[in-house]
Structure 1
Amino acid sequence: MSAHNSKFRFQLEDKGNVPKFRQLIDAVNNAIAEKRLNIGDNLPSVNQMCQEYKLSRDTVFKAYSILKDQGVIDSVPNKGYFIAREIRRVFLFLDTFKAYKEVLYESFIKALPENVIADVHFHHYNTDVFRHQIENSIGRYQKYIVMPFDHPEVDSVLAMIPSEKLLVIDWNIFSKPGNNLLYQDFGQAVYDSLQSVRDLIKKYGEMVFLYPNYTNHPIESINFGKKFCKDNGIKCSVETNPTKLDVRPGVVYFCVSDRMLGQFLEQCRVKNLEPGRDCGMISYNETPMKKFIYKGITVISTDFKTMGEKAAEFVANDKPMDIRIPTQVFVRDSL
């Protein structure tokens, strides 16, 4: 099979730090994922690739050797290289890459089948980026794992993706009957979590919810937090302006922003206030470091490791999914 009549076409691009052999590997994997190459199809020989695309033998041989080591291709003497395994591509669309999202991502990647390639993208709550990335992805992936956000345009963009291929994760906003869901409960689960540590919270005379005006965290967490305070006769308020944060003794704080958590801890240091003794802190979303900071920060969090594993499970089979990941409380010295 000559390079000219092959199903495989390679376009070398100026990608900065991406070496040519890596581009060739990606091109073969993409061609398999897009069904332009199937199991048993021949690849151009090393000599053909060198002549057709002006590549060195070392570049082509290195790419083919890596693909062969991965089991993607194989070779037979005098017959050349051929596709040995199906490759599938998955579109993973997250909001931002924070510490707790890293836990989700690593768990997801680790649990994926070996023949699956995951392309990760971030929208940073930007509607133009959200729409552009999904528009460009349509038809290129076998499954779509998408973390949405609260904006009226998000619903119509998600509708571009075939429902059987889409898994909405983390927040079930804009979900419809029949959608695949893998989410956490930002409302009632927060209320129940606070109830489970009610006696610790009542050590303090007041509760302040830190909900900065720059956050995209669902407001229902604050609403259910306020309901908890009302039901338990606890004085409470909400602070949305980070510049007005004034940490006071006798107050327990509930914080949905790690940036404001940093401000809280800095003020505790300056004012010589001991979290868990003089004032309290409950943070939202577990991260690897929160168990060590200031003898440990009490956290309300979903299980992002399990969320990543379940998302990989959706990729591995064609079964519908509708799972709410439980919310946990990690009680540490800050409360």
Structure 2
Amino acid sequence: MYYPKISSTCKIPKYKQILQAIIDDVEKGVLKKDQRLPSINDLSAELWIGRDTVERAYRELKGQGIITSIQGKGNFIAGTGAKRLKILLVFNKLSSYKKIIYYSFLKTLGDKATLDLHIHHYDVQVFKDIIEKNLGKYNYYVIMPHFSYDADQNEYKRILRSIPGEELVLLDKDLPSLNSKYLAVYQDFEKDIFNALQSALDLLNKYQKLTLIFPVDGQYPIEILNGFRYFCLCYNKNFSILNNLAEEVPHTGTVYITIEESDLGDLFKKLKQLNFTPGKEVGIISFNDTALKEVLSVTIITTDFEAMGQTAANLLLNRKQIKVKNSFYMIRRTSL
């Protein structure tokens, strides 16, 4: 016998949990047309809740045409209802690269789902409000769990744990400390930058120093910093880490690694003033590709944003609860 799943700790009223659970399972195909539901007494006893709670949920389901009652026989699923999945996307920001993920995800889903997009802006309280207002209303919650450096990790992990594992999808970053089963398509920021730089040792060896421009207010994953530092220590490279290029005078024999587009622009201005040519006096590596970087022949290191969206959508549609590391690679150009 089918029984909807509800949570005793969830703030959503139990009748609404029953209502949404049955609607979700109809949409997912778990419940089929004409399938019999538990009686009010049976469901009340199974879930340890009052009859009036079950009765209210069933009454609303009848009103929406989801179930029908046959006197003397019970309650049955009236039809398959809406077949489109409801998905809530919660991104940390909407950059040009996040848009690539979004449109790739949307295109891969096609007409099988409807999406609502929210932005938490690295703010745990904003994230909490989004989830609490929408918990129980969607089939899947696709989250980018990037938060400010001083964010309360216990709090945002608690919020993530409030989402059932079978409904949770983490994008761009994994959180193994959640200790639960869920779908994730992620970057391993620390290993990715280490491996990318390692793959370019033949080019890096002609330079005497590596400098990473890592903005303190950019909310970028600290793992990038850790991976860069670890690479330099492992290969005995002289290195430095700057917040920006405001006070920096580019030095011959230095490779500059930029994350933000504005820092890359500032670097090119300074090189022009010094009459330096990228790939000769200095080297340049930039995160993530753009048409302009290709025109300027800037060496880049990047994940495949389009593949991330496609992979997440395909795994979701196939109801997989696995973790997939997204590809990360270097495109060599003349700036190195």
What's the TM-score, normalizing by structure 1?
0.71
Segments of 5+ residues of structure 2 without an aligned counterpart are: 1-22, 34-78
Partner of 1:298: 299
Partner of 1:22: none
Q: Secondary structure at the match of 1:119?
A: strand
2:259 aligned to which of 234, 256, 261: 256
1:111 aligned to which of 96, 108, 111: 108
1:92 aligned to which of 89, 92, 109: 89
Report the Cα distance in structure 2 between the residues aligned to 1:108 and 1:242, rounded to whole angstroms. 36
2:277 aligned to which of 274, 279, 299: 274
Partner of 1:309: 310
Does the 8 Å CA contact 1:92/1:121 hold for their aligned counterparts? yes
1:135-179 alpha-carbon deviations (Å, 9 max, x no partner): 111111111110002432211111221111001111113442423
CA gap of 1:92–1:301, structure 2 versus 1, over 3 A, is same
CA gap of 1:135–1:287, structure 2 versus 1, over 3 A, is farther
Does the 8 Å CA contact 2:245/2:267 hold for their aligned counterparts? no
Partner of 1:218: 221
Does the 8 Å CA contact 1:298/1:332 hold for their aligned counterparts? yes
Task: Give aligned pairs, total.
Answer: 260
Alignment of 1:245 onto 2:248: yes
Q: Secondary structure at the match of 2:284?
A: strand
1:57-84 alpha-carbon deviations (Å, 9 max, x no partner): xxxxxxxxxxxxxxxxxxxxxxxxx998
Q: Secondary structure at the match of 2:111?
A: coil
> RMSD between aligned alpha carbons?
2.6
Shift of 1:206: 1.0
CA gap of 1:83–1:164, structure 2 versus 1, over 3 A, is closer
Alignment of 1:125 onto 2:122: yes
1:50-109 alpha-carbon deviations (Å, 9 max, x no partner): xxxxxxxxxxxxxxxxxxxxxxxxxxxxxxxx9985222111111111122122112111
Partner of 1:24: none
Report the Cα distance in structure 1 between the residues aligned to 2:115 and 2:291, rounded to whole angstroms. 24
Alignment of 1:140 onto 2:137: yes
Partner of 1:43: none
Partner of 2:164: 162
Shift of 1:34: 11
1:315-330 aligned at under 5 Å gives the runs 315-330=316-331
Select between 82-91 and 112-121 the one with higher mean Cα deviation: 82-91
Q: Which AA in structure 2 matches 1:180?
A: L
CA gap of 1:175–1:282, structure 2 versus 1, over 3 A, is farther
Shift of 1:265: 2.0
Report the Cα distance in structure 2 between the residues aligned to 1:204 and 1:115, rounded to whole angstroms. 51
Q: Which AA in structure 1 matches 2:171?
A: I
Does the 8 Å CA contact 2:184/2:312 hold for their aligned counterparts? no
Report the Cα distance in structure 2 between the residues aligned to 1:306 and 1:87, rounded to whole angstroms. 23
Report the Cα distance in structure 2 between the residues aligned to 1:234 and 1:127, rounded to whole angstroms. 37
Select between 259-268 and 323-332 the one with higher mean Cα deviation: 259-268
Shift of 1:123: 1.3
Does the 8 Å CA contact 1:39/1:84 hold for their aligned counterparts? no
Does the 8 Å CA contact 1:211/1:256 hold for their aligned counterparts? yes
1:296-319 alpha-carbon deviations (Å, 9 max, x no partner): 221111111111001111331222
Q: Secondary structure at the match of 1:167?
A: strand
Q: Which AA in structure 2 matches 1:270?
A: Q
Q: Secondary structure at the match of 2:103?
A: helix
Report the Cα distance in structure 1 between the residues aligned to 2:270 and 2:119, rounded to whole angstroms. 32
Shift of 1:239: 0.7
Shift of 1:277: 1.8
Q: Which AA in structure 2 matches 1:325?
A: N
Shift of 1:208: 0.6
2:184 aligned to which of 181, 201, 204: 181
Select between 267-276 and 98-107 the one with higher mean Cα deviation: 267-276
Q: Which AA in structure 1 matches 2:170?
A: V
Report the Cα distance in structure 1 between the residues aligned to 2:292 and 2:132, rounded to whole angstroms. 37
Q: Secondary structure at the match of 2:293?
A: coil
Partner of 1:194: 197
Report the Cα distance in structure 2 between the residues aligned to 1:315 and 1:136, rounded to whole angstroms. 23
